[in-house]
Amino acid sequence: MKFSPFVTSDRSKNRKRHFNAPSHVRRKIMSSPLSKELRQKYSVRSMPIRKDDEVQVVRGHYKGQQIGKVVQVYRKKYVIYIERVQREKANGTTVHVGIHPSKVVITRLKLDPRMGSTFIDRQDNRDDKQD
């Protein structure tokens, strides 16, 4: 049941907003869950996916394959391309297969100095909500 008058539950409106979302909103939508070890370490359940993160596919045809690095994050199509997840075309060339970020688990994050503050901010926000 909807309680806020400012939020719509209309399916067509939500689909329109999803498919017409700007890039900075798509970044947040394209989040992946962290592995159990990373979840314990950072106290965060999911993070927006980035190029060079290491992920494991957990759903679909390519699930269970070894861990691969994210080669490209394609926000326009809501897919990511992973190092070893490829298929062969009819003419013999190999192409990466697009996978939705919700169907992978991040096993190793690409960290740089500005990412540290992101975890701290998210942990602080969570602590504030629990109080």
Q: What is the pLDDT of residue 131?
A: 62
107 in Cβ contact with 118 (< 8 Å):
no
Residues in the chain predicted with pLDDT less than 70, given as ranges, are 115-123, 130-131
pLDDT, tens digit (0-9, with 9 covering 90-100), for 101-115 = 999 999 999 888 776
Helix (H) or strand (E) holding 25: helix 23-29
CATH 2.30.30.30 fits 11-112, yes or no: yes
Pairing mode, if any, of strands 79-88 and 31-33?
unpaired
pTM over 0.85: no
At a CB cut-off of 8 Å and minimum separation 6, what does 51 contact?
70, 71, 72, 73, 110
Q: Which two tokens stand for residue 25?
A: 């909103």
Q: What is the pLDDT of residue 118?
A: 66
